[in-house]
Structure 1
Amino acid sequence: MPTCSSPRWSALNAGDADLPVLYRDRWVVVVDKPAGLLCQPGLGPAQLDSLIRRVQRCEPGLALVHRLDRDTSGLLLLARNPEALAAFSGLFAHRRVRKLYVADICTDPPAFAGLIDLPLARLQRHPPRYGEHPQGRASRTRWRVAASAGSLRRLWLQPITGRSHQLRAHLAALGCPIQGDPIYAADQGRSMTGRMHLHATALSFLHPFTGKRLRCRSAVPFASSLD
């Protein structure tokens, strides 16, 4: 059973910074995206730099299978050819990829674990902000407390659906915005690490070409009293 984890990183020399590569085969590359880097270019010259532009300098055929918010770090899949892009995109579309995130919050959640089932829609364009709306798209997130220290809580998050800002908006609706979130926790000020404490830490799926289960893990990159 193929596995990949951060101690086995190699580097993809991609422009301004090396990107850690956790797994590579004929069809897919799994990289560890740093916080603060767009997955694809945004609007305007200030948002041209992105992960996909960097990696395509090394391998022009790479394409994003899915995306993470700019302020979220962690595991990201890149397809190496159109056939692979269609196959891996299909796994995400049919919810056959198990995803696990880690988030730190500064407010006690209402229980030890739960399911957030709130439809989400974009409520604001600049900056984009999402929230509960009766005509929003169905959105579901499982969560569980992983660790506690003082006023801090670390959560495991399992998104069942994959909406824009889903984890951030769902935790904000729960009354527990993510530490350092520049949109949903702006009134809490900056985190001590200067970044949002949300990390895509694990992915697991049946490889559509080999038939074997691939499990990838990435160590949480932000330190806190919860470690």
Structure 2
Amino acid sequence: MNETVAPAPDLLARLLHRDGLMLIIDKPAGVPVHRGPKGGPSLEDAFDQLRFGLPRPPALAHRLDKDTSGCLVLGRHRKALERLGKLFKSGRIGKTYWAVVEGAPEGDEGEIDLALGRLDAARGWWMRPDPLGLPARTSWRVLGRSADSGRAFVEFAPHTGRTHQIRVHAQAMGWPILGDPIYGSGRREGAPPLHLHARAIDVPMQEGKPSARAVAPAPAHMREALAACGWRGDETG
């Protein structure tokens, strides 16, 4: 019996920004950005759609988790990837995430300064708060609340780029992200998908020139929960 292979996503339709150095696409949720140790389809399989006349397809400048949607940056050639790598490493790229969390924050905004380390070697990329780990800072502000469900619509801005940073920080504050299969209640059968979206990104690619900025529309799987927290659609932010 032949296995059914999921069709490659139409990345041309998900292109948010294009210039001679980089591309920014709206990554769909549920698709890994690259092949894992077990293989299987990944977003990289479709990068050939985005050559736009260059001899090679673009390559990942960073990564998003499989279940996270939104702005993903690709470098179009080696020099561009080197530049992007330095910008990400130095924290000069502005990143904005949207999430729906379970359990509302007490305040309306704040900053989480909590070092992170590996949970244990057997858990791969799973992380935990660890005073001996790597520094990690995330700013947050509440954009809406749902009185009925006790959930909140929160905007996160990570100042460092640790693995699962926003997800672990939210859990540590007592309001894990809705549908998180590792750090929240998403491991239950019938749980919703992860409600975490890379909403916007700001890339100062060339000195002395305006930053390249892209905004990814709210994904379909998050819109109901966002609306319950007061979101009125992308046209209003």
So what's the TM-score if we normalise by structure 1?
Answer: 0.86
Alignment of 1:43 onto 2:37: yes
Structure having the larger proportion of residues in strand? 1
* Residue number in structure 1 paired with 2:140: 143
TM-aligned CA deviation for residue 56 of structure 1:
3.5
Alignment of 1:74 onto 2:107: no
Alignment of 1:25 onto 2:19: yes
Letter of the structure 1 residue corresponding to residue 215 of structure 2: R
- Please tell me whether the aligned partners of residues 102 and 175 of structure 2 are also in contact (alpha carbons under 8 angstroms): yes
TM-aligned CA deviation for residue 170 of structure 1:
0.5
2:177 and 2:198 map into 1 onto residues whose CA distance is: 14
Which of 187, 197, 200 is the equivalent residue of 1:199? 197
Distance 1:31 1:191, change over 3 A: farther
What runs of 5+ residues in structure 2 fail to find an aligned partner? 1-6, 232-237
Alignment of 1:130 onto 2:127: yes
TM-aligned CA deviation for residue 190 of structure 1:
6.3
* Residue number in structure 2 paired with 1:114: 110
- Please tell me whether the aligned partners of residues 179 and 191 of structure 1 are also in contact (alpha carbons under 8 angstroms): no
Distance 1:57 1:206, change over 3 A: closer
- SS of 1:92's equivalent? helix
Report Cα offsets for 1:51-90 as digits up to 9, x if no partner: 1222146533311111111111000000010011011111
* Residue number in structure 1 paired with 2:3: none
2:108 and 2:87 map into 1 onto residues whose CA distance is: 30
Letter of the structure 1 residue corresponding to residue 45 of structure 2: R
Which of 79, 82, 90 is the equivalent residue of 1:83? 79
* Residue number in structure 1 paired with 2:94: 98
2:103 and 2:176 map into 1 onto residues whose CA distance is: 8
TM-aligned CA deviation for residue 128 of structure 1:
3.5
Which of 5, 8, 13 is the equivalent residue of 1:16? 8
What runs of 5+ residues in structure 1 fail to find an aligned partner? 1-14
TM-aligned CA deviation for residue 50 of structure 1:
1.2
- Please tell me whether the aligned partners of residues 104 and 197 of structure 1 are also in contact (alpha carbons under 8 angstroms): yes
TM-aligned CA deviation for residue 155 of structure 1:
0.4
So what's the TM-score if we normalise by structure 2?
Answer: 0.82
- SS of 2:161's equivalent? coil
Identity of aligned pairs, percent?
35
Instruction: Give aligned pairs, total.
Output: 211
Which stretch has the larger CA shift, 176-185 or 210-219?
A: 210-219
1:73 and 1:188 map into 2 onto residues whose CA distance is: 19
